[in-house]
Structure 1
Amino acid sequence: MLVSYAGFVGPSNKLRATVADNEITRNWFVEPIAPGTGPGGFQGYLKPTPGIQPFTVLSKGPLRQLWHQNGRTFAVAGNGFYEVFANHTNMLRGLVAVDSKPASISSNGSAGNQVFVVSGNYGYIFNLSTNTLTQIGDSEFPFPCTMGAFIDGYFLALKGRTNQFQWSALEDGLTWDGLDVAQLSQTSDFIQSITNVHGQLSILGTQTSVVWADTGGSSAFEPIPGSLGMQGSAGAWSAAVLDNTLCWVGSNEQGHAVVYRMNGYTPQRISTHAVETALQNCQRLSDVIAWTFQMDGHAFYCLYIPSADCQWVYDASTSLWFQWSIWNTTTLKFEPWVGRCHTFAFGKHLVGDRQSGAIYEMDPSIAQSQLVVMGAA
């Protein structure tokens, strides 16, 4: 017999006024039944988060970045730069500087056969032809470099605690000119992150956002008129591309702890009051790490928050949030789920462990919990 519990199927929505709403959806997310019709008029059901199984274990950890392109997969774990193979093996390709932050990986593909790695404030180039990793020795390469990107044949490097970024020689990440540098002129806040979105450079500062593009002019990159937004980023690594646009945890002179999704050039709020309450209760938002993936038509923006020991997830297909956790049988407490970076490689969803050198295959057929229909949406 089917019994309907109105409102049971829904998102996490623990408000400050818990008498109004105190519900937590953990390790499940809502999947609508539409356009079909469920039994008893159900409109949706709770689907379990995907489970994992071991894929390979790197000799160093934790995982700080995973990246795949043109049949080759690379990882930064601890101070190691690895290549990961489809047969579940891996090879240490070189060593990089290390800190507590994620690393960034980008490539110029077959045009230059180079992979650009930024880790621990230094830049490195991995040659795809010779399989060698070289620290960028050009004296005009910016230091400290906090992250990199690739657009239109150029590698871009963000100089830490400034409002400047620099670009390499065309298709050559080992050559840099100190004159090939851009500085934000519309605002004066530090740049937190740079991200390639649709071949344009999305720049998030501490208080503002702006989009630049390769205009082909005397200066390779220039701001797009009308793209300046008055919403910056609370943390350099909260920005991630989801469903063809950028999402991040916002901050400006008026406040912080709202999650935004770029709509054109306008930041659009996607967090709920429950999510914002949870973020505002965090000791630090500067250490938030975002990662994204798409599975079964759901596009997920995952927010790992170390200082709050939790992981919140936004589902772009439903605009609903849930929490993703594991149960620690020693401390008898929920902890953030194991993943903090992702890539789709060899037809598999690969996830890097936030504490060790383990890389897992994420698979919905290995359910973390049982799949059941539990009420009307």
Structure 2
Amino acid sequence: MPRIPFATQSYQSVSVELSAQRLVNLYPETAPASSKAPYALFGTPGLSPYQEVGTGPIRGMHNMKGSAYVVSGTALWKVESNGDTRNLGFIPGTGPVQMDNNGLQVGILTGTEADDLFMATATSLTQVNDADYTGASSIKHLDGYFVFTRPNSGQFFISGLRDGLAYDALEFATAEGSPDGLVTAAEDHRELWLFGETSTEIWYNSGNVDFPFERTSGAYLERGCIAAASVQNLDNSLFWVGDDRIVYRAEGYTPRRISTHAIEKVLTENLGLGDLTSFAYTQNGHAFYVLKKPNVFTFVYDVATGLWHERASHQREDYRVSTFVTAFDRLLVGDDQSGMIYELDMGRSGTEGSDCVIARAAAPPLWAEAMSATMNNLVIDVEGGVGLTTGQGSDPQIMLRYSDDGGHTWSNEKWRSMGRKGRYKRRARWDGLGQFRQRVLEVAISDPVGRIVLGAYAEMEQNGL
């Protein structure tokens, strides 16, 4: 039975007849040439409850010297590896916070008002009340200084050296390459990237006694940033959403497009992108850039393959987590509705705490080249025998549906067993699937079991015009 093309990415074109591909809660991994299949689809990591901290939501997390600093609701908590927690004090606001550290203090920026900056140590939380601090739109640490962008301007300023409580009104500079305002700052390879609305400048620490940072000669990008929280460090580079609603990664001082037309279509259709959030992490050799618009979508770029997939939580269109920290040798994420911190756990794919999530794969279209064809048999090569001992998932099912009009309408679901525990030879096979001129196949798994799809095979015959 010949192999047929199957899903590798999320790519829903302007014309769904051209491509209606989707990967939701699945991602591809290429295999060596001698393997059974050229690639496989693996379930994205489950969310294993790690610890509940405060009332939630989790607004930000940061690691300094082996302790996790967590803003949950209106409190800052210090969390230790043994589970001990300490409430360090009150943090105003309800939205996401920005956090960074200078090795001695964790800086927490909550908004754009003059009273929005706090400094935490291992035992205390202090609001910055220096008269020369007048509010900031972003915070970043570089070479012992906290660096801030000033709201509604092209200026940035710095704290005292290793002292986030001290400020001097004269310690500022202006990104002057373009008259646009600054959106945010980032650090990469000990260089300061200043993202503006339509341009980006790169500065470095020259050690000048008057002001330590100077513009890097020739380091200017005619590309800005549309959402401050879209900027992430990953894979020895920077990733961000540009002012043109294209996703980029930096190659030296050149922005390289990594989004597809399908991703850009979604970013263009959603006019307000100021609330985009993102985080980045690496697991099992895959470096993931996670881009989320709350309640609308979560797209994930995999550096290893250069492909995008989607993540969607139980009964949601988006992923329920927005914040990330590596702490205690774990990959931890924070819930955007509660105070729960989860661990990204490949061993619990398909689960989020007690909830199950659906994995879905819609393949590229099968096209009979203007003829009609009959699909006699279809086999989805899924890793079998993964059933649980009892309860939901003891006889896990894979669900098939198909569209013969380019993804506009779909057939009823047809269920097949993936095999009870230990029944490794179980095959998911469907017979007599009828005629088509073009067909999109989609499979889904909702049981809380491991999800590994190795490919699809079909017996088909052409019927003529």
Normalising by structure 1, what TM-score? 0.90
Question: How far, CA to CA, are the matches of 1:265 and 1:43 in structure 2?
Answer: 34
How much has 1:86 moved relative to structure 2?
Answer: 1.6
Instruction: State yes or no: 1:183 paired with 2:135.
Output: no
Question: How far, CA to CA, are the matches of 2:151 and 2:55 in structure 1?
Answer: 26
Question: How far, CA to CA, are the matches of 1:267 and 1:33 in structure 2?
Answer: 29
Q: Which of these residues, 162, 167, 171, is aligned with residue 158 of structure 2?
A: 167
Q: Summarize the alignment of residues 222-233 of structure 1 with structure 2, pairs less than 5 Å apart.
A: 222-233=214-225
Question: How far, CA to CA, are the matches of 1:161 and 1:94 in structure 2?
Answer: 30
Q: Summarize the alignment of residues 69-108 of structure 1 with structure 2, pairs less than 5 Å apart.
A: 69-100=64-95, 102-108=96-102
Matching residue of 1:364: 346
Instruction: State yes or no: 1:12 paired with 2:48.
Output: no
Q: Summarize the alignment of residues 196-345 of structure 1 with structure 2, pairs less than 5 Å apart.
A: 196-217=187-208, 218-251=210-243, 256-306=244-294, 309-328=296-315, 334-345=316-327
Question: How far, CA to CA, are the matches of 1:318 and 1:140 in structure 2?
Answer: 47
Q: Could you tell me which amino acid in structure 2 is paired with residue 210 of structure 1?
A: E
**Does structure 1 retain, via aligned residues, the 8 Å contact 2:12–2:262?**
yes
Question: How far, CA to CA, are the matches of 2:24 and 2:265 in structure 1?
Answer: 17
- For structure 2, the residue ranges without an aligned partner over 5 or more in a row are 351-448, 457-465
Q: Could you tell me which amino acid in structure 2 is paired with residue 320 of structure 1?
A: L
**Between 215-224 and 81-90, the greater mean CA deviation after superposition:** 81-90
**Between 44-53 and 154-163, the greater mean CA deviation after superposition:** 154-163
Query: Deviation string for 1:81-138 (max 9, x for gaps)?
Result: 11112233432211122142x21222221xxx2221111331111123xx11000110
**Does structure 1 retain, via aligned residues, the 8 Å contact 2:64–2:106?**
no
Question: How far, CA to CA, are the matches of 2:245 and 2:176 in structure 1?
Answer: 26
Q: CA RMSD in A?
A: 1.6
Question: How far, CA to CA, are the matches of 1:15 and 1:95 in structure 2?
Answer: 46
Question: How far, CA to CA, are the matches of 1:274 and 1:261 in structure 2?
Answer: 18
Question: How far, CA to CA, are the matches of 2:304 and 2:262 in structure 1?
Answer: 19
Matching residue of 1:38: 35
Q: Summarize the alignment of residues 52-71 of structure 1 with structure 2, pairs less than 5 Å apart.
A: 52-71=47-66
Question: How far, CA to CA, are the matches of 1:14 and 1:49 in structure 2?
Answer: 20
- For structure 1, the residue ranges without an aligned partner over 5 or more in a row are 329-333
Matching residue of 1:331: none
Matching residue of 2:455: 375
**Between 212-221 and 10-19, the greater mean CA deviation after superposition:** 212-221
Matching residue of 2:385: none
**Does structure 1 retain, via aligned residues, the 8 Å contact 2:231–2:278?**
yes
Matching residue of 2:121: 127
**Between 291-300 and 196-205, the greater mean CA deviation after superposition:** 196-205
Question: How far, CA to CA, are the matches of 1:95 and 1:120 in structure 2?
Answer: 15
Question: How far, CA to CA, are the matches of 1:99 and 1:236 in structure 2?
Answer: 18
**Does structure 2 retain, via aligned residues, the 8 Å contact 1:14–1:24?**
yes
Question: How far, CA to CA, are the matches of 2:451 and 2:159 in structure 1?
Answer: 50
Q: Could you tell me which amino acid in structure 2 is paired with residue 365 of structure 1?
A: G
Q: Runs ≥4 in structure 1, deviation > 4 angstroms?
A: none
Question: How far, CA to CA, are the matches of 1:206 and 1:303 in structure 2?
Answer: 19
How much has 1:312 moved relative to structure 2?
Answer: 0.4
Q: Could you tell me which amino acid in structure 2 is paired with residue 185 of structure 1?
A: E
Cα–Cα, structure 1 residues 370 and 3, in superposed 2: closer, same or farther, change >3 Å? farther
Q: Could you tell me which amino acid in structure 2 is paired with residue 375 of structure 1?
A: G
Question: How far, CA to CA, are the matches of 1:76 and 1:182 in structure 2?
Answer: 31
How much has 1:200 moved relative to structure 2?
Answer: 1.1
Q: Could you tell me which amino acid in structure 2 is paired with residue 304 of structure 1?
A: K
How much has 1:3 moved relative to structure 2?
Answer: 6.0
How much has 1:55 moved relative to structure 2?
Answer: 1.2
User: Secondary structure of 1:275's match?
Assistant: helix
Q: Could you tell me which amino acid in structure 1 is paired with residue 129 of structure 2?
A: G
User: Secondary structure of 1:226's match?
Assistant: strand
User: Which has the higher Rg, Structure 1 or Structure 2?
Assistant: 2
Query: Deviation string for 1:166-218 (max 9, x for gaps)?
Result: 11111111110000001111111111111111111111111111111111123
Cα–Cα, structure 1 residues 361 and 88, in superposed 2: closer, same or farther, change >3 Å? farther
Cα–Cα, structure 1 residues 18 and 9, in superposed 2: closer, same or farther, change >3 Å? closer
**Does structure 2 retain, via aligned residues, the 8 Å contact 1:9–1:45?**
no
User: Secondary structure of 2:3's match?
Assistant: coil
Give the paired residue count. 354
**Does structure 2 retain, via aligned residues, the 8 Å contact 1:55–1:88?**
no
Question: How far, CA to CA, are the matches of 1:326 and 1:13 in structure 2?
Answer: 20
Instruction: State yes or no: 1:346 paired with 2:357.
Output: no
User: Secondary structure of 2:347's match?
Assistant: strand
